[in-house]
Amino acid sequence: QMQLRESGPGLVKPSETLSLTCTVSGGSINSDYWNWIRQSPGTGLEWIGYLHHSGTTNYNPSLESRVTISMDMSRTQFSLRLTSVTAADTAVYYCARRKIDVAGAYYFDYWGQGTLVTVSS
């Protein structure tokens, strides 16, 4: 059974960089799409972007200038970097796998439990 778990600082100062890691157990990043999604009371669920197993990335245009999603060489972890954070980036951050089935339908099946990141001085 695959499991995903987010880790990283729970508090980041304004203007600094938010860095989170998602550890994948029971599988690897050798296939599928690996996503970051966040949730805050003010903006609901927001897709941040994904890393395809080939190394291709796709980001939400609203965050694209500040976001990087990358893969660890072990291919069991992927990371999120969000630069120049403000209070508006305070949210619960989730990592999730997006997969395609044999019929060509996509779905987000495995999610981490989420980690709260607060931006405050």
Question: Of the ranges 10-18, 19-27, 76-84, 90-98, which one interacts with other proteins (CB under 8 A)?
Answer: 90-98
C-alpha dist (Å) from residue 89 to 29, 53, 70, 117: 26, 26, 19, 8
Dihedral of CA 62/8/96/81: which sign?
A: positive
Which C-beta is closer to other proteins: that of 46 or that of 72?
Answer: 46
- Near other proteins in 47-86, by CB under 8 A: 47, 58-62
**Segment contacting other proteins (CB under 8 A): 15-23, 24-32, 76-84, 99-107?**
99-107
Looking at the chain, how many residues does it have? Answer: 121
Direct distance between the N- and C-terminal alpha carbons of the chain, in angstroms, rounded to an integer: 39
Question: Whose Cβ is closer to other proteins: residue 10's or residue 107's?
Answer: 107
The yes or no reply on residue 45 touching other proteins (CB under 8 A) is yes
The answer to whether residues 94 and 112 touch, using CB atoms and an 8 Å cutoff, is: yes
Which residue ranges make up the site for other proteins (CB under 8 A)? 44-47, 58-62, 94, 96, 98, 101, 103, 105-109, 111-114
